Structure 1
């Protein structure tokens, strides 16, 4: 065996080959970059908190439920400019998961009447509370579009949560989703993919007993009036400084987004705010989006 090992060392160094006995299985060579596909775990069981003072640090968090490319970044920055509202970048809390290192740790948590879902909710709450506390403000506004797919769990995690629904013309959403990365998705693929988010938002609007709806078109046409209505729903006073968003709150966005938001802020100052492009009509509306246009009150 020593001779064979020495021979293989020499062959490997010079040719990259090895000598093996006949019948010895050679394991397949797996590229370093290859990885097993991620396995999505089923949603864990959880219970609604019986005592919010014990189980939750956050009080009355706000969740902005919206599809992709609906203007949620704009609304987030407007709200973040309020002295009492903190709206950070997308936190994707529903993707934070908890696992047990050992069976003993699982049994210990069972003894505390804490399932994996309960532990995840404690983690979500702590992360968001930490972010809010660091801001020094009173309420947090979370705007990750994917939250629409988990609205039931968010509602059960924070029974005192408040929900804001942001709508936009479905065809305008799809168009913007395609233009964001035309090499990644065709116009038709963008429409189908964006429709998943729209349906999730629609289900959330129907499934939640209360909430406040904001339309992107109304926000751009009448920002002050729209924000006054939203502030009233949230129980805070409207602050004119909200229309000066992004200048003093340290919000981090990409240069492209910052330019677009800066152009929109300039329109506010000049009093010439209006929808950035005409609403899609007629043949501009993909057939797959026409039912959602009708459901949301946009003429198809």
Structure 2
């Protein structure tokens, strides 16, 4: 059997990560399924299971995670999980081991050698991932944070007020850049979204070289694949995956930002924008825009906007997310009962 290794994509959502995921998934070497966000969702729940040294507790965790992945809004095509097999193959009783074995099932089905996890917030668990040893290489995908914010404003997930969008984006990039300093250069690849869409062939060839795999032309024909079709049909956020790369998909914030949005974002995250090579556009620096009183107002507005985004969301988007939400609710209720 070929040796199998893990890749972790890091950064912030709405940065072209699903585009990159489906491009990579066209390679015969890589399985890159839509993320179920196993670590992000189950680390906060681990205390409910008790010590995982107990086989009964560990078996329950494995069972819940398999059910959760099976309920993913975008299904893992053709991947069938055997709960007992995961338990038997575990080298240790840990959430990180379950995460590894879940993803390995996807690449084993494909007879490839690499699996890629697109749960970008896993950068916050990089110490545990390094200790576990399941990630061979990291891909840091980054995009102009102001365009990321403009995209999140229209999405069903994430923060909604510009202050909190800027704060989250800044924090994510700083965490990624910190990791970059701690792992060897041959394990860390930085990919700029704007470069990716401007010259996709060059960018993907460089990525393939980093991963030691062969570039294939069908990687850039991703939009004709079943993976893209199924993902696009699963939510409004992913509808563009059935289209070729949009080379001009940049600078949208210049047209969509509202009053003070640009200045607030650059006050909060201007230093990181500059570090990543993005120009600043705001000519003034009104610190009052991020005063304590203003932030309290932004907090309330953020809550209101999040609620409104759910009201405005398409019924199909909400329906696709219900099964996983129900599983998490049942886990909490089961322990409390």
**Aligned twin of 1:35:** none
Please state how far the C-alpha of 1:279 moved relative to its aligned partner: 6.7
Q: Match of 2:83?
A: none
Distance 1:158 1:183 in 2: 30
- Following the alignment from structure 1 to structure 2, what is the Cα–Cα distance between the partners of residues 214 and 101? 39
Q: Deviations over 1:61-99 (max 9, x none)?
A: 111112121110110011011121110011323244664
Query: What's the offset of the Cα at 1:141?
Result: 0.9
Post-superposition Cα deviations, 1:238-272, rounded to whole Å, max 9, x if no partner, equal 10000111423434323534432233x1xx5xxxx
| Shift in alpha-carbon separation, 1:61–1:291, aligned structure 2, 3 A | same
RMSD: 3.2
Task: Give a deviation string over 1:181-236, Cα, whole Å, max 9, x none.
Answer: 59962222322233332232222222322311110000110000000000000001
1:284 and 2:257 correspond: no
Q: Which moved further from structure 2: 195-204 or 182-191?
A: 182-191
Alignment-derived partner of residue 220 in structure 1: 197
- TM-score calculated relative to the size of structure 1: 0.66
Within a 5 Å distance, the mapping from 1:175-214 to structure 2 comes to 175-181=150-156, 185-210=160-185, 211-214=188-191
1:137-165 deviations in whole A, cap 9, x for unaligned?
22111111211111121122126611111
Question: Are the equivalent residues in 1 in contact too, given 2:30–2:114 (CA < 8 A)?
Answer: yes
2:279 is aligned with 1:299:
yes
- Which position in structure 1 is the counterpart of 2:122? 147
- The aligned counterpart of 1:173 is 148
Q: Distance in 2 between matches of 1:232 and 1:91?
A: 28
- Pairing 1:71–2:44 present: no
TM-score by length of 2: 0.59
Q: Distance in 2 between matches of 1:148 and 1:135?
A: 26
Which is helix-richer, 1 or 2? 2
**Distance change >3 Å, CA 248–CA 170, structure 1 → 2:** closer
Does residue 92 of structure 1 match 2:37? yes
Larger gyration radius, structure 1 or structure 2: 1
Which segments of 5 or more consecutive residues in structure 1 lack a partner in the other structure? Answer: 1-52, 107-116
Q: In structure 1, how many angstroms separate the alpha carbons of the residues matched to 2:173 and 2:54?
A: 43
Q: Which residue of 2 aligns with 1:59?
A: 4
Shift in Å, 1:102? 9.4
Alpha-carbon distance change, 248 to 181 in structure 1, aligned in 2, over 3 angstroms: closer
Alpha-carbon spacing, 1:104–1:213, altered in 2? closer, same or farther (3 Å): closer
Q: 1:250 to 1:71 in 2, by over 3 A?
A: closer
Which residue among 91, 104, 111 is the counterpart of 1:136? 111
Partner of 2:309: none
**By how many angstroms is 1:274 displaced?**
2.0
Does the 8 A contact of 1:170 with 1:292 survive in 2? no
